[in-house]
Amino acid sequence: MKVLYFAWLRERLDRDSDEIDIPASVETVADLMDFLAARDEGFALAAENRALIRAAVDEELVDHDASVRGARTVALFPPMTGG
């Protein structure tokens, strides 16, 4: 699975993506963020306030309880504003 990072999340991590194999225990976006935080202190610090992070699974906006099983990509980013 490819995890994409955007905006200040990308800047804080100093990378725009990770290619990872997720364990069977990772079923939702929230589980994925917990998994990433456990393996990467930088992600844990950057994503400390999970309410500020939005997600898209295979280019579809989703809530943190959405499944990531079988996903090719998960994008994590701050809330967007229009204009």
Q: Give the whole-angstrom CA distance, residue 32 versus residue 28.
A: 6
Closest CA to 13 of 77, 59, 71, 81: 77
CATH topology (fold) of 2-77: Ubiquitin-like (UB roll) (3.10.20)
Considering the entire predicted model, what is its pTM?
0.92
pLDDT (tens digit, 9 = 90+) per residue, 2-46? 999 999 999 999 999 999 999 999 999 999 999 999 999 999 999
Domain ranges of the chain: 2-77
Name the residue with tokens 């999340």.
Answer: 9
